[in-house]
Structure 1
Amino acid sequence: MCRKVFLENLRQCQKEAKCAAVGEWARSISNHMYWAAASSNGDGDLVEEKWTSVARHVVNIHEDHGQKFQRCEHEEITRAWIEKGSRAHKEVENIVCSTRLKKDVRQLSPADQTSCLESFHSLVCFFATKQTHFFYESMEARVILAVLHFNENSNRQQARKSDGSLQWQLSYPKYKKGGVVVRPVKEVMTYKYADDLMRTVWCLREGTQATRMPTELSAE
């Protein structure tokens, strides 16, 4: 959530006079937040120093950032740097170094993200749309179906082309506001759980070994 808030602040800032350069750095600063959290092994002090270093990085200063993170780790790069002391630089400093944001950044997870959980919630909405009212039994059944489908397809591998190379696709999510994201193409979804359910229903109908789980039946 803190990432979305500060990113929106940067986008709003670029609309102000003499702050157009902030917009050119918005995406890089956003990526820097991810890197600061992922590369610090949960060390809050180190995450904070890495994060605030971007306020110096944008003006082409790459050392003396802090006690734990003294200098940037990137190789020599060439960019359109923001002028030190300019209004654009001050706005970046105010946003990046705000007390509230620094407090949130210290608590960022070094590895775990909520994208998997968000995907599951989206899948639940597919099986049980919020636009339709369901009674308890129907809602429970639809959620169970969502769980079965998610468990079967959540670990799909990245699809490959005929020559063996990995497949990728361009995506334009709404939150990017026109920005593009490169995402891997996953293998085609499977519905083996449906066959298992149908086999169980048939067993119940025929009065055979219906007490066994679908996975046990499918293994035969």
Structure 2
Amino acid sequence: MWHGSKNLAKKMHAAGQQKGCSILLQWIKDICNYFWFCCKMTENFDNFYDMWAGLLNHVTGEHEWPLDAGQRPSGERRDKAWIENGSVAHRALSEVILNQRWLKEVHKYLHFRSTAELESFHNHILMYASKRFSFSRPVYEARIFLAGLDYNHHVHRPPRRKPDGSVQYRKLYNKKSRKWCLYAIKEEKDYRYIPQLQRAIVGKRVASGRGLPRLTAATQSDPRQYGVLFVAPASSTQQPLKSQASRGQSKKQML
């Protein structure tokens, strides 16, 4: 689902860069939300297409948005203008949402399953085990376990509250849609599981009857023994000296 919505947003952003189509940038988030709504409410492609094609009427003001029904009080002023029917922007929108190549992938999203939480956890792992560094297998496993403990303990943190009890938000500007978005700020992490984990580690070490090892021999599978891996073999010093030149200095001056 997330990938389908992201792909749709990229196509909408590209269409909004065309002359006379800048109004589409204001509708990116609403159209992506409507895509999620259509995938949730339909079970087959025919039903999806009927709802999805109706988007061309919704954006012109002929009907209310299904997602907005009941969420906005009547008489509230809209924060965006309607798209004129038959205009350049309306035709560009039609080419995006009715693109046959994109519609062939829609059946993958009708199950309405999202991997957002899984991808969030994978991104969280990089805080403990960055791809820029190599780790031995025991160290890597320990870092993954720490990432899992951190994620599970703090994933359901409540939002931060102001002194008056209201939720504290943070404003972020989206360059693609050219709109400000609000995100609730969560409470700070407390890491209350760390002391318990430390006691368990020390207790297991004391009960083992062994001291800490001073030196550890590298295993044959340790990738660090290979050092830095070069794509091309190293050349002599004279060869790059003849070919490269510093800024503001010619090759003849260097020689």
TM-score (norm 1): 0.74
Distance 1:12 1:140 in 2: 42
- The verdict on how the C-alpha distance between 1:15 and 1:111 changes in structure 2, with shifts beyond 3 A counting, is closer
User: What does residue 163 of structure 2 align with?
Assistant: 162
1:120 and 2:121 correspond: yes
The answer (yes or no) to whether the contact 1:14–1:20 under 8 Å persists in 2 is yes
State the identity %. Answer: 27
Matches within 5 A, 1:45-194: 45-62=46-63, 73=66, 74=69, 80-108=81-109, 112-172=113-173, 176=176, 179-194=179-194
1:127 shift after superposition: 0.4
Q: In structure 2, list runs of 5 or more residues that go unmatched.
A: 209-255
* Worse-matched range after superposition: 159-168 or 102-111: 102-111
Secondary structure at 2:105 match in 1? helix
1:125 shift after superposition: 0.4
1:178 shift after superposition: 5.5
Paired AA for residue 152 in structure 1 = H
The answer (yes or no) to whether the contact 1:41–1:110 under 8 Å persists in 2 is no
How many residues of Structure 1 are paired with residues of Structure 2 in the alignment?
198
1:177 shift after superposition: 6.9
Distance 1:98 1:5 in 2: 12
Secondary structure at 2:183 match in 1? strand
Structure holding more helix per residue: 1
1:43 shift after superposition: 5.7
**Structure number, greater radius of gyration:** 2
The superposition leaves residues 159-218 of structure 1 with CA deviations (integer Å, 9 ceiling, x where unpaired) of 2222222222223467x576432111112212123222211122223329xxxxxxxxxx
Distance 1:9 1:59 in 2: 20
Secondary structure at 1:180 match in 2? strand
Q: In structure 1, list runs of 5 or more residues that go unmatched.
A: 63-70, 209-220
TM-score (norm 2): 0.65
User: What does residue 8 of structure 2 align with?
Assistant: 6
Distance 1:189 1:112 in 2: 29
